[in-house]
Structure 1
Amino acid sequence: MSIEVGSKVQGKVTGITNFGAFVELPNGSTGLVHISEVADNYVKDINEHLKVGEMVEVKVMNVEADGKIGLSIRKAKPQAERPERPQRPRHNNRSNDRNDNRHQPKENFEQKMARFLKDSEDRLATLKRATESKRGGRGARRG
């Protein structure tokens, strides 16, 4: 029996690590269930979900050229058993920025440049004051 990607098989947990569990498949090969594929919710300690010797149903996620087999317990569950994950709203920052700036009048290039120069001069003045006070005034170095 060859292992095909997408197939669901029964396997026996043979080892548990902090990053996942090793499962022996019916054909004698061993695959890894990553800790993120054990349950639908966050798994802090895999030992709370699996025990060595336990039989589990897994779905084959990938088979690499070097023989490594990626497995998933949570994707092997029927859709009805899996809790619905809430979808995060997707934000497009550019459109949100445009929406926030609707009430502001449009600036032309000269106005933007004048505002930039004023802000820049204010920042430089503040920086100069801070460095002069640390050096003892006027920027003179002590010998």
Structure 2
Amino acid sequence: MKILVLLLALLTVSECEKNVTGRTGQSITLPCIYDIKINGPTEMCWGRGPLPSSGCSNQLLATDGHKVMEESRASSRYQLEGRLDEGDVSLTIMNVTEEDAGLYGCRVEIFGWFNEEKHHVHLTVNRGEKMIKESPAG
């Protein structure tokens, strides 16, 4: 029985969950960082909704470990502005809208069985302040 418990502990996928809040019209960054010094550059993807057993559902973009694979990018609004060479694969969404609110998933493929890292981020988007146009005095 102890061996079974140990085996299950070793096969556990690393998961974490965060909440991010922003305003419409802003750029918002959803965090996802992995230890590149231990794992080396590795493939990863971002998707909308919960992460399936492999890959990313509703994929927004993916990397080959060194750069974003442009054919994987769902929109130019999705950017990785962090240092990929340091393991920062945080997703920046440009010009956020209320429709962007919801659950996002980042999957980092770590070599070996059941070793991937899964990061879920709940994005809340609040309506931004309306610009008030002043009329000239006259």
Using CA pairs below 8 Å that are at least 6 residues apart, which structure has the higher relative contact order?
2
Return the index of the structure with the highest Cα Rg.
1
Greater strand share, structure number = 2
* TM class by smaller structure: under 0.3
Query: What TM-score comes out, normalization by structure 2 length?
Result: 0.23
